[in-house]
Amino acid sequence: MQNDDKPTTRRRSTIDDDAASEDGPFGDLSKAARDAVRQPADPRLEAQIARLGLSPDAEPTRRPRLRKADAEPSLVADTERIVESLAAARSATDRLARRVEVLTYVLVGLAVVLTIVIVLTLVRATS
């Protein structure tokens, strides 16, 4: 155990010399952060932030809504077809929900009747 007396040193991983000399071991990250801060703001992102009310100085801007007259005819036809399809799907879902509800009531009723029959059978068997 002769090595116990010598202090051990761990060699650091090699870091890019110019990055290490600029800002320490995180030179590249700091440069990327500075570049990100200096970039001009994305107007789409700024509009979203203003729409959410998170921007202190900006009034929320609204996009102009398209009226049916302004939209393309194929777009109107597609929209109407999708709305009709959604209405049909909703009515089918409502019918299925009602069937499940009725089936639940029937099963609860059968469980009650079965419980009564079991209790009556046990009472007769013990008497």
Instruction: List pLDDT tens digits, range 60-104.
Output: 555 656 565 555 777 778 888 999 999 999 999 999 999 999 999
pTM over 0.75: no
Res. 1: pLDDT tops 80:
no
Q: Are 114 and 106 in contact (CB under 8 A)?
A: no
pLDDT category of residue 49 using cuts at 50, 70 and 90 = confident
Question: Which among 40, 79, 43 has a CA at the least distance from the CA of 58?
Answer: 43
Sign of CA dihedral 109, 111, 114, 116: negative
Which pLDDT does position 32 carry in this prediction? 77
pLDDT category of residue 59 using cuts at 50, 70 and 90 = low
